[in-house]
Amino acid sequence: MTENTTPVTPSRELTDFADLVSLCKRRGFIFPSSEIYGGIGSCWDYGPLGVELKLNIKNSWWRAMTDRDDIEGLDASILMHPRTWEASGHVEGFVDPLVDCKTCKGRFRADKLEHANCGKKSSLRPGQHGECQLTEPRQFNLMFKTFMGPLEESSSVVYLRPETAQGIFVNFENVQQTARQKIPFGIAQIGKAFRNEITPGNFIFRTREFEQMEMQYFVKPGTDMEWFEKWKEVRVNWHLGNGLRRSKLRFHPHGPTELAHYARAAFDVEYEFPIGWQEIEGIHNRSDFDLRRHQEFSGKKCEYFDEAAKEKYLPFVIETSVGCDRALLAVLCDAYRVEGERTVLKLHPKLAPYKVAVFPLMKKPELLELTDKVYADMKANFRATYDEGGTIGKRYRRQDEIGTPFCITVDYDGLTDQTVTVRERDGMTQERVAIGNLTRYIQDKMAAWKSE
Ligand code: GAP
């Protein structure tokens, strides 16, 4: 029997990041970094639930990539030979135009002034206030520099990688040969990247330290645009598979002035955040730009030999590059709802930090014994949590707010008929389920889940 004990109430979506920032802090998803020292601009720490959610997103990506026979995994180091970044074009070309305001001491991207606020009057753009004194734009390289070894001199400068992709390019031959892959094939990697952004902000949307999930797919020149189209389709389906609503996703093709220095064609997958449509993933046709440049700068051949056709060539590369933190932000924004008294995260069950919460109706020894058994069964199959504090209604609200899709309550009837109540997060329906069937019941419900 399924019953809905709560009247249907109108649902409100997220309209302001501030509400999400507050939930994330309150419930242990995301904290400001070094908070006891007053925080540090644009750095965030993932708490117990945030780290679970992030791992689930990474797993969803990693499985989608490496379960395929034509994609291999890699974990390259963050620090690379400095010549890497000369070859990649980042030393010369990874720059943003920067302007300072001598009056308010604000620092802005010269090409994004229409999205920035004047430090004197926030309703105006920088330069619009009578007292604004903007400097001439100067080029600012976004790579973080540090020194390798004890001497702080120019010969020991190394960079924190601004994208994970270069670790893949320099390992192209290592992976191709050891994994005995034939073109077309891809290399996938998840890892930290660093960019000294001029204007970070909007919570974890733009930060200076973030994680990327990148895949470079090496193809025969001439087949590149065909693969580019295929990967667009595959990648948007991945976001849909994480529960994002189709109406909130769109493609944005790059015009000639938007293309990165390495790209011959590019599409952004955009999500409609409370701040508007923004990129969550970039899909690029990088041609043979990177392998050609590494060949030139290192003096080592990066060509592929096609045994069957007896021909040598530099492969073209189709890149899919998604920010893990940005994908997570989109997932949280999409899941966030306020329905009457409750705030609920309608996360895809596969991404939810806990799949199941188990409660005893009351803290009575006769109920706790059976509850412990149910909890142990659930933990053997799912990531589960236990809660015995406060009323059942309060416990539901707590789980709603962290996105737990199923709450199981053990009550007195269960002692005689070995059943429990399973309450489902999204519709708030309740059903009596035999304890012996619980695992199967939850697995089936999770598999059938659809976003609204
Ligand atoms: N290798 C290609 C590359 O890095 P990109 O468009 O500059 O391309 C790819 O970055 C993705 O990385 C973006 O779509 C975004 O999700 C994420 N990303 C880039 N800069 C970021 C930042 N400052 N903070 C958080 N995520 C960022």
Whether residues 337 and 366 share a domain: the answer is no
Predicted TM-score (pTM) of this structure: 0.94
Q: Identify the domain boundary among 342, 370, 390.
A: 342
Whether residues 358 and 338 share a domain: the answer is no
Ligand 1 pocket mutation pick from 326, 328, 333 by most atoms within 8 angstroms of CB:
326
In CATH, what number is assigned to the domain containing residue 187? 3.30.930.10
3 state DSSP class of 42: coil
Question: Which pLDDT score is estimated for 1?
Answer: 44
Would 120 be classed as within a structural domain? no
- Paired residues of 281 in beta bridges: 269, 322
pLDDT in tens, 279-299: 999 999 999 999 999 999 999
Ligand 1 contact via 191 beta carbon (within 6 Å): no
Task: Indicate if the pLDDT at residue 6 is higher than 80.
Answer: no
Ligand 1 contact via 211 beta carbon (within 6 Å): no
Q: Where are the beta strands (DSSP E) in 5-60?
A: 11-13, 30-32, 44-46
Would 385 be classed as within a structural domain? yes
Structure tokens at 268: 């952004």
Whether residues 216 and 265 share a domain: the answer is yes
Would 420 be classed as within a structural domain? yes
Q: Identify the domain boundary among 320, 342, 364.
A: 342
Give the pLDDT band of residue 4 (cuts 50, 70, 90): low
Residue 242 near residue 221 (C-beta atoms within 8 A): no
**How many whole angstroms separate alpha carbon 248 and alpha carbon 278?**
11
**How many whole angstroms separate alpha carbon 442 and alpha carbon 351?**
15
In CATH, what number is assigned to the domain containing residue 417? 3.40.50.800
Closest residue (by CA) to atom 22 of ligand 1?
206
Ligand 1 contact via 96 beta carbon (within 6 Å): no
Whether residues 312 and 388 share a domain: the answer is no
**How many whole angstroms separate alpha carbon 426 and alpha carbon 423?**
9
Ligand 1 contact via 216 beta carbon (within 6 Å): no
Whether residues 299 and 206 share a domain: the answer is yes
Cα torsion angle, 420, 425, 431, 434, sign:
negative
Whether residues 359 and 268 share a domain: the answer is no
Closest residue (by CA) to atom 25 of ligand 1?
206
Whether residues 336 and 361 share a domain: the answer is no
pLDDT in tens, 125-143: 999 999 999 999 888 899 9
Question: Which pLDDT score is estimated for 5?
Answer: 53
The overall average pLDDT reported for the chain is 95
Ligand 1 contact via 425 beta carbon (within 6 Å): no
pLDDT in tens, 43-100: 999 999 999 999 999 999 999 999 999 999 999 999 999 999 999 999 998 988 889 8
Ligand 1 atom with the smallest distance to the CA of 323 is 16
pLDDT in tens, 439-448: 999 999 999 9
Q: Region of 327 please: left (phi>0), alpha (psi -120 to 50) or beta.
A: alpha
pLDDT in tens, 359-382: 999 999 999 999 999 999 999 999
Question: Which pLDDT score is estimated for 360?
Answer: 98
Closest residue (by CA) to atom 6 of ligand 1?
282
Ligand 1 contact via 279 beta carbon (within 6 Å): yes
Whether residues 238 and 327 share a domain: the answer is yes
Residue 9 near residue 339 (C-beta atoms within 8 A): yes
Strands, sheet with 11-13, edge to edge from the N-terminal-most edge strand: 11-13, 336-339, 342-345
Whether residues 338 and 431 share a domain: the answer is no
Residue 326 near residue 238 (C-beta atoms within 8 A): no
Structural domain containing residue 397: 354-448
Would 406 be classed as within a structural domain? yes
pLDDT in tens, 185-200: 999 999 999 999 998 9
Whether residues 264 and 205 share a domain: the answer is yes
Closest residue (by CA) to atom 14 of ligand 1?
281
SS3 letters across 88-112: CCHHHHCEEEEEEECCCCCEEEHHH
Whether residues 381 and 326 share a domain: the answer is no
Ligand 1 contact via 325 beta carbon (within 6 Å): yes
**What distance in angstroms lies between residue 213's CA and the mean position of ligand 1's atoms?**
9
Residue 203 near residue 278 (C-beta atoms within 8 A): no
Query: Percentage helix, strand, coil, to 5, in the chain?
Result: 35, 30, 35
Would 126 be classed as within a structural domain? no
Would 379 be classed as within a structural domain? yes
Ligand 1 pocket mutation pick from 212, 213, 319 by most atoms within 8 angstroms of CB:
212
Ligand 1 contact via 195 beta carbon (within 6 Å): yes
Q: Identify the domain boundary among 312, 342, 372.
A: 342
Whether residues 361 and 266 share a domain: the answer is no
Closest residue (by CA) to atom 21 of ligand 1?
206
Structure tokens at 308: 């069957």
Would 196 be classed as within a structural domain? yes
Ligand 1 contact via 214 beta carbon (within 6 Å): yes
- Tokens 């695992």 appear where? 439
pLDDT in tens, 245-267: 999 999 999 999 889 888 999 99
Would 205 be classed as within a structural domain? yes
Ligand 1 atom with the smallest distance to the CA of 162 is 4
Domain count of the fold of the chain? 2
Please report, for residues 32, 85, 191, 207, 270, the alpha-carbon distance to residue 198 in angstroms, rounded to integers and kept in the order given: 19, 20, 22, 10, 22
